[in-house]
Structure 1
Amino acid sequence: MIKIFGIKNCDTMKKAFKWMDANGHDYTFHDYRKDGIDEEMVAEFVDALGIDLVLNTRGTTWRKLPDDQKESLDDAGKIKLLAENEAMIKRPIFKIGDDWAIGFAKKDQAALEERLK
């Protein structure tokens, strides 16, 4: 079973849904804003994928934080911040059985397709 985590109205998420549907992949969706998110869930993402992949440092929410605040955060602090600001989590995150994948750039799509075969 495939589970996708993210925010429903995100353009990247919409592309991922469309791609999954077009390729005949069944999935369930967990919308952080509707279904919720907590530190435990974020920690699971980080354990599986690493904080550097999960934390979206290119987004405006992260970029608006003061540099001294960003620099002072350890992994636990980043996990707490992500649980409080779900828009800072890179999207989408896929759970495929016991395996995990993140992102939906062209290279990510190719890797995802291999995992779904």
Structure 2
Amino acid sequence: MKTKIYGIPNCGSVKKARTFFEDNHIDYDFHDYKKLGVSQESLEKWCNEFGWENVLNRKGLTWRGLDETVKIEIKDAISAIKLMKDNTSAIKRPVLESDKGNSVGFDEKQYEKLYL
């Protein structure tokens, strides 16, 4: 399985991840979930693997721009997945899937451990 990077192209963390792969000549596929969306199954899988609290990006502009009543309603994986499905920018980026392991967020040391 070729590594798949999920994210949006203008995100700084996604750019760092793509640069890491390109600089190290590692082949990957890029899934732009701003254009292509993200499946319910992928969100459920990521939340099960990493915990919904780690998949939901609470530091980004999308989260900060949400109405407080919406934020208060996010209490579990089901409510977080619904929000992330409707607002893909609320997903922490990048999400990587590969045979060598999956990860969420940019972590160069972890990438080195997995891919080099």
Q: TM-score range by the shorter chain?
A: 0.7 to 0.9
Separation in 1, partners of 2:84, 2:29: 22
Moved more, 16-25 or 33-42: 33-42
Deviation track 1:74-117 (CA, whole Å, cap 9, x = no partner) reads 3201101101101011111111216211111xxx1101110113
Share of identical aligned residues, percent? 37
**CA 1:39–1:29 in 2, change beyond 3 Å: closer, same or farther?**
same
Moved over 6 A (4+): none
The root-mean-square deviation of aligned C-alpha atoms, in Å, is 1.5
Matches within 5 A, 1:42-81: 42-73=43-74, 74-81=76-83
- The runs of 5 or more residues in structure 2 that have no matched partner are none
Q: Secondary structure at the match of 1:3?
A: strand
TM-score (norm 2): 0.88
Q: Name the count of aligned residue pairs.
A: 114
Shift of 1:9: 2.1
Q: What residue in structure 2 maps to residue 7 of structure 1?
A: 8
Deviation track 1:5-24 (CA, whole Å, cap 9, x = no partner) reads 00122222122111110011
TM-score (norm 1): 0.87
Q: What residue in structure 2 maps to residue 113 of structure 1?
A: 112
Deviation track 1:30-73 (CA, whole Å, cap 9, x = no partner) reads 11022221322211211121111110000111122233322222
Q: What residue in structure 2 maps to residue 84 of structure 1?
A: 86
1:39 aligns with 2:25: no
